[in-house]
Amino acid sequence: MKFQASELPLGKPQSRRSKTSKLAPLIALTILLTIPLYYPTIRDSSKKLSDTSHVFEESLDEPIIKPTSHLETPPPEITKIGGDVAAEDHREPPPAAARKKHHEKGRKKRTRKPQTDSVIAQREEINNNDKTQITITSSRGDIRSRLLDDEKCDLFSGEWVPNPEGPYYTNDTCNAIQEHQNCLKFGRPDRGFLKWKWKPDDCELPVFDPTRFLELVRGKSIAFVGDSVARNHMQSLICLLSRVANPVDLSGPLDQNKRYEYREHDFNISMFWAPYLVKTSKTDPNDEKRPFKLYLDEFDDHWTTRIALFDYVIISAGHWFFRPTYFYLNSTLVGCLYCPESNVNHLTSYFSYRRAFRTAFRAINAANFNGVAFLRTYAPSHFEGAAWDKGGDCARTRPYGRNEVVLEDYSLEMYLIQLEELRIAQKAGRRTGGRFRLFDATRAMLLRPDGHPSKYGHWPVANQTFANDCVHWCLPGPIDSWNDFLQELLKREIGESR
């Protein structure tokens, strides 16, 4: 399969490096004053780029093909916030205001930020039975427990454990691996990252069983709605199923929307390309890289009018929201992200992210959809050492242990926004019959800095440097576990309705 580079999302401008710019605190302050944010203390002693980075020497004796750069040229860097701060890279996430080094494990700690709004997420780490539990307390963090079914095991709290059986397919056995995720083909030297599986704390998560899965979904259809990470997930599913069946592919190689039919199993998969979930238009119809206009309160009827035909919808969105964009409400321009205009309100990604989910969920509630909608939550990227466009890389070869990293900064905020909007949708669903479920990929993927293509999404090209891909996931790779989750989630749904 081949896809146009233009359809792929911009890499998340994430970096573990602390900001050195003198302007950074000013920007952070500006952002802190405009939106409620809480930056918990991070424990970053483990996050220094380790000296394993040298293992990824580029080998130039490989055949050279023209790579498709999935991480595009960054947008113009000049923007203004509050009129005073210019020429800083605003695509960087806001630096953590309360960043602190911390070398002891399991020590109870608590950090409070000055309240900029009544809604503050406060996180505590509680040393409990030798395992550090990450609990998000306060009105915001409580939401997660309310989204989970008390009667059932929380599949998403756990850790990665060794799995010598993995992987369950390779680049040679699955032809659905998109080039820029085909890490084995492009010479990734290590294989350890393929040998882990997710272990929930309170139960087992069976690994994906293709035969069983196809029995489970007979007579059903699944739609993925989202961006290239959603497609990454779908391709993982197709690869895992390839051991027993291959679908009829009804889509053209360059189609952004996909349709696969497993005719013998009466099971269909569709992908609706909707990186912003809502109605959009291009500021330049011929150039995908130019900022999009987002109509944040309007449905994207391309998918919303078709969704009622499906049994399951897996909805997700993420990294595109960090791109320059114009925001419309009621057809009126209300703000923008990284636009050059000084007479437009400069707002944040959080503004558009929240409204996009609210509108997407409203569309599902309005669609007479009798199936189940899963929110697959934000999957953090893992650029280390520098920003994504300044040479930042993800060169690790092992997962983090559960105590080595915490969800923080904008990843925490994006995640909380998703949980809050899911909760709102669930409440509305009580009237409409809409069923909304949490598919919490965030925690598991936070722990997988080793799962990205990095430089192994294409062949190296002499005298050319490409941004490393620390956003998508290698196939095979840790994203395969999303289908372990999916199998279990569907089993619960189907078990329930029988």
User: CA gyration radius for the chain?
Assistant: 22
Q: Which of 221, 246, 251, 432 binds ligand NAG (CB under 6 A)?
A: 221
Torsion, Cα 211 215 220 223, to 10 degrees, reads: -20
- Binding residues for ligand NAG restricted to 460-479, rule: CB under 6 A: 462-463
Using the contact rule CB under 6 A, the part of the chain among 20-28, 260-268, 282-290, 353-361 near ligand NAG is 260-268
Q: How far is the CB of 186 from ligand NAG (least distance, A)?
A: 8
Q: How far is the CB of 174 from ligand NAG (least distance, A)?
A: 9
Q: How far is the CB of 218 from ligand NAG (least distance, A)?
A: 8
Q: Which of 66, 172, 253, 498 binds ligand NAG (CB under 6 A)?
A: 172
Q: How far is the CB of 1 from ligand NAG (least distance, A)?
A: 12
224 close to 231: Cβ distance less than 8 angstroms: yes
Q: How far is the CB of 307 from ligand NAG (least distance, A)?
A: 13
Using the contact rule CB under 6 A, the part of the chain among 89-97, 135-143, 216-224, 365-373 near ligand NAG is 216-224
- Binding residues for ligand NAG restricted to 263-292, rule: CB under 6 A: 266, 268
Q: How many residues bind ligand NAG (CB under 6 A)?
A: 13
Bridge partners of residue 293, in order along the sequence:
281, 326
Using the contact rule CB under 6 A, the part of the chain among 27-35, 226-234, 261-269, 383-391 near ligand NAG is 261-269
Collapsing DSSP to helix, strand or coil, 291 comes out as coil
Q: Tokens representing 453? A: 């293509």
Using the contact rule CB under 6 A, the part of the chain among 215-223, 276-284, 406-414, 472-480 near ligand NAG is 215-223
The DSSP line for 163-191 is -TT--S--TTT-S---GGG-TTTTT----
- For ligand NAG, give the closer residue by CB, 133 or 465: 465
Question: What sign has the CA pseudo-torsion 168, 173, 179, 182?
Answer: positive
Q: How far is the CB of 170 from ligand NAG (least distance, A)?
A: 7
Q: Which of 20, 118, 330, 342 binds ligand NAG (CB under 6 A)?
A: 330
Using alpha carbons, list the distances in angstroms from residue 25 to 29, 74, 88, 97, 338: 6, 22, 12, 8, 18
Q: Does 491 contact ligand NAG by CB under 6 A?
A: no
Q: How far is the CB of 298 from ligand NAG (least distance, A)?
A: 12
Q: Does 219 contact ligand NAG by CB under 6 A?
A: yes
Active site residue 228: yes
Closest to 479 (Cα-Cα) out of 200, 193, 185, 249: 193
Q: How far is the CB of 330 from ligand NAG (least distance, A)?
A: 4
Using the contact rule CB under 6 A, the part of the chain among 54-62, 217-225, 448-456, 472-480 near ligand NAG is 217-225
Q: Does 184 contact ligand NAG by CB under 6 A?
A: yes
Closest to 91 (Cα-Cα) out of 40, 38, 43, 31: 31
**From CA 167, how far away is CA 236, in angstroms rounded?**
11
Catalytic residue among 469, 480, 481, 484: 469
**From CA 38, how far away is CA 437, in angstroms rounded?**
26
Q: Does 171 contact ligand NAG by CB under 6 A?
A: yes
Helix (H) or strand (E) holding 444: helix 442-446
Identity of the amino acid at 286: N
Helix (H) or strand (E) holding 249: strand 248-249
152 close to 492: Cβ distance less than 8 angstroms: yes
Active site residue 154: no
256 close to 495: Cβ distance less than 8 angstroms: no
Pick left, alpha or beta for residue 423 (phi over 0 → left; psi -120 to 50 → alpha; otherwise beta): alpha
Q: Does 497 contact ligand NAG by CB under 6 A?
A: no
**From CA 408, how far away is CA 16, in angstroms rounded?**
11
Using the contact rule CB under 6 A, the part of the chain among 112-120, 213-221, 234-242, 370-378 near ligand NAG is 213-221
Q: How far is the CB of 431 from ligand NAG (least distance, A)?
A: 22
Q: Which of 43, 220, 319, 354 binds ligand NAG (CB under 6 A)?
A: 220
- For ligand NAG, give the closer residue by CB, 271 or 379: 271
Bridge partners of residue 268, in order along the sequence:
221, 261
- For ligand NAG, give the closer residue by CB, 220 or 346: 220
Catalytic residue among 180, 472, 480, 481: 472
- Letters for 409-448 (x = contact with ligand NAG by CB under 6 A, - = none) are ----------------------------------------
383 close to 470: Cβ distance less than 8 angstroms: yes
**From CA 233, how far away is CA 464, in angstroms rounded?**
29
Catalytic residue among 44, 70, 90, 228: 228
**From CA 442, how far away is CA 406, in angstroms rounded?**
11
Contacts of 29 (CB under 8 A, 6+ apart): none
Using the contact rule CB under 6 A, the part of the chain among 158-166, 218-226, 235-243, 289-297 near ligand NAG is 218-226
Q: Does 185 contact ligand NAG by CB under 6 A?
A: yes
**From CA 375, how far away is CA 437, in angstroms rounded?**
6
Interstrand relation of 372-376 and 312-315 (parallel, antiparallel or unpaired): parallel
Active site residues: 228, 469, 472
Interface positions with ligand NAG (CB under 6 A): 171-172, 184-185, 219-221, 261, 266, 268, 330, 462-463
